[in-house]
Amino acid sequence: MSDPLTEVVRLLQPHAVFANLISGKGDYAVRYAEYGQPSFCIMLEGSCRLAVDGHEEVTLGAGDFVLLPATPAFTISSFTPAPLPVHIDPKVVPGGDGERRYGMPGGEPEMLSLGGAFLFDRADPQLLVSLLPGLVHVRASTRLARLVQMVGEEYLDPRPGHEFMLSRLVGMMLIEAMRSTTAGSAPPGLLRGLGDERLAVALTQMHAHASRRWTVGQLAETAALSRSAFFDRFTRAVGVAPMEYLLAWRMELAKDLLRREGLPVAEVAERVGYASTSAFSTAFSRHVGQSPRQYMRTNPADRAP
């Protein structure tokens, strides 16, 4: 059966844009301007402070993983910050250009990390923003540390097949980060819903069988809840009513089918659970702001031959 997290990552088609080794020694402070796209950081050695705008300052130690779904402005510093921070605009300064050193230039670094950013080939990255808190901090995750170390190795020593490896590794990183937030730290959305064992069954069914003509009563039955209890529990955990969530997921699938495969509108409608093309077109236009044909023309993408 289809797993909701797998389906979301499959839809996003992530790959790393760049990754840099970042080291520090002595007193330093680096202020990064708002980036606006998903980014990550893994602490390989030592420790430092991370202050993300809008969030409480956190201490990062070796093995920690940080994911910023929308990457607002933030500051990385030693525990005694330099009085004058170095300012960097990630939209201007290119990534993937080797190690960046902050503080004292010589000697063994006291802090070593790997930082990078994501790009998504298909879906809008706002889909990820809607799933995760603004700051995901996973402490001492050996699984994530191994994954990100492999990402760094692929960048430092690219070999045949490295693009495929990078896309798979980044997808695995995202799933690990999402798994870490399902137990209560996630905002209302899919991840919090998956942290509820009753709702997780219904969500899995919705993702696995999006074309089925679901009713709230049928979904409540899969969750072993009464209709009213399921509706209230789902709405509180996921942030929207069950049918509203199902509509949003169907529209994401429809956008992917239109962009990637260029299927006829009638076939897309059938695949996402609509009995008629006109009903689907009306729902799609209302949700997306364009008709299916307009969306297909204005959002070209790589399509299966």
Phi and psi for 11 in degrees, rounded to 5?
Answer: -70, -40
Name the fold adopted by 244-298: Arc Repressor Mutant, subunit A (1.10.10)
- H/E segment holding residue 116: strand 111-120
Percent of the chain's residues with pLDDT above 90: 47
pLDDT at residue 289 tops 80:
yes
Phi and psi for 76 in degrees, rounded to 5?
Answer: -105, 135
* Residue (of 14, 230, 46, 38) closest to 132 by Cα position: 38
* Residue (of 87, 99, 86) closest to 23 by Cα position: 99
Name the fold adopted by 4-179: Jelly Rolls (2.60.120)
Query: Phi-psi category of 86—alpha, beta or left, where left has phi over 0 and alpha has psi -120 to 50?
Result: beta
Q: Which two tokens stand for residue 88?
A: 């960097």
Whole-model pTM: value is 0.74
Return d(Cα 153, Cα 186) in angstroms, integer: 31
Q: What does the pLDDT look like over 64-89, one tens digit per residue?
A: 889 898 999 999 999 998 888 999 99
Q: What does the pLDDT look like over 254-285, one tens digit per residue?
A: 998 998 777 899 999 999 999 999 999 999 99
